[in-house]
Amino acid sequence: MKKYFEQFSKGKSSGIVDFPDVLEACWRSPSNIALVKYWGKKQGQLPANPSLSMTLSKAVTYTGVRAYPASPASISINDDIHHPFIPKLQKLYHLLSEELTVLRDLSLEVRTENSFPHSTGIASSASGISAFTLCLLNIAATLSGSSTDSSAFFRAASYASRLGSGSACRSLYGGFTLWGKTGIVSGTSDLEAVPVNEIVHPDFLHLRDTILIVSSEPKSLASSWGHNLMDTHPFARSRYIQANKNLVMILRALNEGDFDLLAAISENEALSLHALMMTSTDQGFLIRPGTVEIIQKIRNARKNGLPVFFTLDAGPNVHMLYPKRYSAEVEWFTNDELIMHCENQKTIVDYCGEGPVPIHTSLF
Ligand code: PMV
């Protein structure tokens, strides 16, 4: 942890000593969709296999944090001290403040809002945790006089976000991001995610993602519980071998601009994730009839020449990815054939995005 946080070490010895009355930091951070999935972890919030994701643009969280010196430390979210997200933030704050002494003994007021409508079933932990972490580290940077636009700052934020939610560490960079040690890309690590855009074909940096909301009910399966199920899953060993092979192939597809290979691997990963859930001891079954209808129609459309493919997160909603230049055709296809399977005809047309940005106006 030391190596990541050295930049903040010039700060005050304690959060209370010489702390200004209040410090505030606000960030906007995006969600990401994994094409090679992280499912299963090792001790210390380390991934059982490397994963690769595309950062989104419209599905973002806006978060502001106001910090006051106070002991004991407390957290409120949107003026609510019983907000369901508080234990997660508290755990992360305590982990970070153990190493980052400048952050000790602070009370935190958190304002947070997702750009995507509430209850669309889109996972918000990647964007929410990364935005919160950026705010905390921004406060640490202010106290220590260090920079918030250096690569060291974003590496620290990726490292720290990972401790709150694995997938959040991939949201710190735009484009395509890889998390997990692999011999095929230098500089990769289990501790932080790295951007891999320089090896991605330029066409793919403009991919679109229409998110088809089949159900907005909160997912019935918490991902931490799902990761734990992998510890005793009968297919775990072969899954990790498969994920590593899929990573090699997806990197080749991304590098060579091979859309068909990208589609085949992404769909295989999405279905493998759900197959793992269905065959675990608790038999998580998250897809709905509408999910299956949409998947079949996407595959048919691709057979008939429309370059679209799907992926799924741990829920029933379908992400349909395609090159930007086919946006008009895909919109017709969506309206004619897919929207009928969506709850209240709900879709979000998103695209490969640029990563987090600081917000210079107060959210309070
Ligand atoms: O970051 P977590 O612990 O919420 O796990 C995310 C797991 C998946 O979203 C299902 C896959 C992934 O790699 O994002």
Beta-carbon contacts of 154 under 8 Å, excluding residues fewer than 6 positions away, are 172, 173
CA of 222: how far to CAs of 77, 86, 227, 282, 345, in Å?
Answer: 21, 16, 9, 12, 26
Per-residue pLDDT 10s for the chain (364 aa) are: 678 999 888 755 444 445 567 889 999 999 999 999 999 999 999 999 999 999 999 999 999 999 988 878 899 999 999 998 999 999 999 999 998 988 998 999 999 999 987 666 676 789 999 999 999 999 999 988 899 999 999 999 999 999 999 999 999 999 999 999 999 999 999 999 999 999 999 999 999 999 999 998 876 567 888 899 999 999 999 999 999 999 999 999 999 999 999 999 999 999 999 999 999 887 778 999 999 999 999 999 999 999 999 999 999 999 999 999 999 999 999 999 999 999 999 999 999 999 999 999 888 9
Does the Cβ of 311 fall within 6 Å of ligand 1? no
Pocket test for ligand 1, best of 31, 61, 167 (most atoms within 8 A of CB): 167
177 within 8 A of 88, measured Cβ to Cβ: no
What's residue 116's pLDDT? 82
Does the Cβ of 272 fall within 6 Å of ligand 1? no
Q: Within 13 A of 140's CA, how many CA atoms are on the CB side? A: 29
What is the Cα 330 distance to its own chain's centre? 25
| DSSP type of residue 336 | I
Question: Which structure tokens are listed for 318?
Answer: 């379908």
Long-range CB pairs of 195-199, under 8 A, 24+ apart, other chains included: 196/52, 196/251, 196/254, 199/251, 199/254, 199/255
Does the Cβ of 167 fall within 6 Å of ligand 1? yes
- Among 209, 190, 224, 227, smallest CA distance to 57 is for 209
Work out the widest C-alpha separation in the chain, in whole angstroms. Answer: 67
The pTM of the full predicted model, rounded to 2 decimals, is 0.95
- In three-state secondary structure terms, 180 is coil
Does the Cβ of 125 fall within 6 Å of ligand 1? yes
Does the Cβ of 51 fall within 6 Å of ligand 1? yes
Does the Cβ of 223 fall within 6 Å of ligand 1? yes
- Among 146, 132, 13, smallest CA distance to 64 is for 132
210 within 8 A of 348, measured Cβ to Cβ: yes
Sign of CA dihedral 187, 188, 189, 192: positive
Q: What is the DSSP string of 87-112?
A: HHHHHHHHHHHHH-GGGSSEEEEEEE
Q: Where are the beta strands (DSSP E) in the chain?
A: 23-36, 41-42, 46-47, 51-69, 75-77, 106-114, 176-179, 193-195, 208-212, 309-312, 318-322, 347-351, 357-358
d(CA 340, CA 346): 9
Pocket test for ligand 1, best of 37, 172, 220, 250 (most atoms within 8 A of CB): 37
Question: Which structure tokens are listed for 56?
Answer: 């989104």
| CA of 71 relative to ligand 1 center, distance in Å | 34
- Phi then psi for 256, rounded to 5 degrees? -90, -5
Atom number, ligand 1, closest to the C-alpha of residue 224: 3
What's residue 119's pLDDT? 63
d(CA 254, CA 109): 41
Does the Cβ of 313 fall within 6 Å of ligand 1? yes
d(CA 250, CA 270): 13
Mark out the alpha helices in 12-104 (DSSP H runs): 86-99
d(CA 174, CA 168): 13
Question: Which structure tokens are listed for 321?
Answer: 């990815």
Q: What is the DSSP string of 108-147?
A: EEEEEEESSPTTS----HHHHHHHHHHHHHHHHHHHHT--
